[in-house]
Amino acid sequence: MKSGRLTASGWPAPDPVYPKKPRYWLAPSLRRDGPGLIQGQRSATGGALSQANRQALRRSMMKRCEQALGADRGSGWDRQKDDDETVFLVFAYCYPNTPLPEFAQSLARALGQLREGGEGAENQAQAGLPQALIRAQRVLIFEPHHLAPAGPDAGLLSQHEFDQCMAVSDLALVRGEDSFGTALFYASQWGLPFVWQPYRQADDAHLRKLDAWLAQATQPLPGWSQLHRYFSPAGSHPESQSDLTEILRALLANWQAVQDVCKSLGQAQFQRPSFEESLLRHWHAKRLESR
């Protein structure tokens, strides 16, 4: 350890009160030489949720959330006409000023254009479009704070409920670090497509994180990078001028590739040692050194 650095993502952090006592700073990292991500109970419990269980959970959660979905910014919920196979469900945990109504309208238009251009479900299937897109007749934007009933705790979800709602969605829009880790885990399980909004920083420093994340994709994905940029524009251009419908149509036309890349990126992270394991290994190594 010539420079005192633990890894490419860790540095010494001396205590000003006890400057001679070694102390180190580590942070969760996506880098291959970093200490990994905080995994918590995800790996221990998430793998038990099979595809069949996911579908059952989706139906259960949609029934439970009928009132919230009915007041949604999407095109509405009609339990007499809609079922889980005709609804394209978007989990949206975004910054408050995110233009979700415009997104919902553009997504509905893009889905409609995709269906019209396919000239029938059989041709659409031959074009490689997943059944979830072929059957989708309605877009619902589900925001977590719409779930809880009115009362002093309105808008609050348990972490388990939050994770389940994300797990059963067709597309997840997530912000920050913890929800990003959850989306990445479910992507590793069955290719949940998601878009990440990093926490915003001065001078657009967060966009460098976003660029580094997008660069990990093994292939260019039409629409995916552009959609990230739409939800995380540069500070000098707060309103994106992009044609959102065209971005979403390109994304949907390459949906299987998006799922495959998200799954690959998730598996690459969750097959590595967790941040907790790295931290314990470091602590154990320091104990041995001190003997």
pLDDT tens per residue across all 291 residues of the chain: 333 333 444 467 777 777 777 777 777 777 777 777 777 766 545 555 677 777 777 776 666 655 555 544 555 555 555 566 788 889 999 988 888 889 999 999 999 888 776 554 455 554 567 667 877 888 888 888 654 455 555 556 778 778 888 888 899 999 988 889 889 989 988 889 999 999 888 888 889 889 988 988 878 888 999 999 999 988 755 555 568 999 999 999 999 999 999 999 888 887 777 777 777 776 776 666 666
3-class secondary structure, 4: coil
Triad 200, 205, 211: Cα angle to 5°: 95
Sign (positive or negative) of CA dihedral 210, 211, 217, 222: positive
3-class secondary structure, 21: coil
At 17 the pLDDT is: 79
- The span from the CA of 137 to the CA of 71, in Å, is 18
CATH code at position 203: 3.40.50
DSSP string, 253-283: HTHHHHHHHHHHHHHHHHTSPPHHHHHHHHH
Residue 24 inside a domain? The answer is: no
Q: How many domains in the chain?
A: 1
The domain in which residue 53 lies consists of 42-270
- The span from the CA of 291 to the CA of 286, in Å, is 9
Residue 278 inside a domain? The answer is: no
Residue 282 inside a domain? The answer is: no
Residue 229 inside a domain? The answer is: yes
H-helix or E-strand spanning residue 186: helix 178-190
Which of 221, 213, 212, 211 lies closest to 259 in space, CA to CA? 221
DSSP string, 117-135: HHTSHHHHHHTT--HHHHH
Half-sphere CA count of 160, side-chain side, radius 13 A? 4
At 1 the pLDDT is: 30
- The span from the CA of 45 to the CA of 268, in Å, is 18
At 61 the pLDDT is: 65
CA 85, distance to chain mean position in Å, is: 21
Residue 277 inside a domain? The answer is: no
At 240 the pLDDT is: 55
Residue 284 inside a domain? The answer is: no
Residue 289 inside a domain? The answer is: no
Residue 27 inside a domain? The answer is: no
- C-alpha distances out from residue 273 to 14, 38, 45, 280, Å: 26, 10, 17, 11
